[in-house]
Structure 1
C-alpha cells in the first residue's frame, strides 16, 4: 500500500518544486513559515511539525489543483475518465484559474498523502535555497 503511492507522491513533489521556482514570492513565504516554525532544528521535520504549517498545506493543495498526478476514474460508471487537469483550470470554478495562488486553496485531501508530500517539501525548503538561473 505504501509503495503504491510513490509515483504520485514524487510527481506532486516535483511539481511543487517547479511552481516554487516559478514563483519566488511563494517560495520565500513558504521558507519563512517553515523556518520560523522549525527554527534551527537540524534533524528531519516530522508530521508533528506540520501542525502550524498552514501555508505549506495551501501550497500542496494548489499544486495538486494545477498538476493532478492522475486522472479521475469512477469504477462502476461508464468507462470514462474525468479530466482533472481541465477541472482544475475551469474559470467557472476558479477565479484566474491559470494563476498559481496557494492562498485560495481550501479543500479536503487524503491525510496520509498530504502528510508525505508536506514533510518532504518542508524538509527541502527548510534545508535548501534554490532558484532558477538568472
Structure 2
C-alpha cells in the first residue's frame, strides 16, 4: 500500500478552494447556483438596469405570483404596465450586487432586496424563469 502525500501548500490550497466554493456560487457541483440560471440572472439583471420591460417579460413565466404591486401579474402587458412601480431605482441598485440563493420555504432561487422583497426564479420545462415576487411586509 502506498501512502499519498500532500504537501502543506497543497493541503492549504484544497482548504481555500473548498471555502471559496462554500462561500460563493462559483463552484457548482449540486450545491451552488446552476450555470443556466446564472446566465438567465445576468440577462435579467441587465434588462432591469436598462429598463427593458420586454426583455424582462421574455425571461419571465406567466402568471408571475405576487403578493404586492397589484397582485398576480398575468401577462407581459401587465408586467410592462407595472414595471416602473416594481423595478424602482432601489431595486435596480440592489440587483447590481445581489446574489441568487436558495431559502427554506421559497421555491427555486431568489434574490432579496430591502430585507423583505424576494424576486424568485424557478425552473419550468427545463428553463429558469422569473416567476414570483414575495414581499414579507405586504398586507
Q: TM exceeds 0.5?
A: no
- How high is the TM-score relative to the length of structure 1? 0.25
- How high is the TM-score relative to the length of structure 2? 0.25
Which has a greater percent of helix?
Answer: 1
Which has a greater percent of strand?
Answer: 2
Larger relative CO (CA 8 A, sep 6+): 1 or 2?
1
